[in-house]
Amino acid sequence: MKRFLSFIAVMLSCALLAGPGQMALLTVKTPAGGGGGGPSFIYAAGWDASASGGSEQNITDVDYASLAKITFPSAGTVTKMGLWTVYVNSSSAIKLAIFDSSRVPVGSAVNPTIASGDGQWHDTASSVSIPSAGTYYIGIAMDGPYTGSLVGRQLSSTGDEYGTFDSGSYGNFPGSLTGLANGNAIWALRAEFTP
């Protein structure tokens, strides 16, 4: 009620300031989307838009999953997930997903097939709700067997990555992944995030 009365008072003040025969124009702006702001990319620990640095590595193996730390500043929605490729040697299906700090899946995986595009980000539309600010993981799996079909970039940053070669599978990603081990091979991954 106080806000409504304040609004009326402002309208009356504007009307009184306008001269005879003039109309006062009042524009009221409300933030788009509840004031959260537009989408922006957030990168796995250590990476940025250029995905420079690190080393070139094959994204490998049928029984493979890798999770890299990513930090979201608030609740919101992941609207895209992406992988940087240095080289694309043949068509390959991958899966990308978001996990919470306990490495439990937060939402459904996206499942693009990358067939071309050297030296660029490959982003795929998604809709994963992030419940609150904090540390999460962005994960990747590739449908093998190993062929060297995708070459990505990796950074060494102990403690920010979890990976497995010997348990879990592409078929059940991002479901239950057992045998995850702390490591230091963070892929160049990113998420487009809308607060």
What residue ranges do the domains of the chain occupy? 2-32, 34-194
Asked if pLDDT for residue 75 goes beyond 80, the answer is yes
Mean local confidence (pLDDT), 109-132: 95
Q: Greater confidence, 188 or 29?
A: 188
Residue 54 burial (CB < 10 Å; 0-12/13-18/19+)?
buried
So what's the pLDDT on residue 36?
63
Q: How far is CA 58 from CA 29, 76, 87, 185, in A?
A: 50, 32, 9, 12
Instruction: Quote the percentage of the chain above a pLDDT of 90.
Output: 46
Asked if pLDDT for residue 134 goes beyond 50, the answer is yes
- DSSP-derived pairing of the beta strands 186-187 and 92-99: unpaired
Q: Do 95 and 170 contact (CB within 8 A), yes or no?
A: yes
Asked if pLDDT for residue 17 goes beyond 50, the answer is no
Asked if pLDDT for residue 62 goes beyond 70, the answer is no
34-194: CATH architecture: Sandwich (2.60)
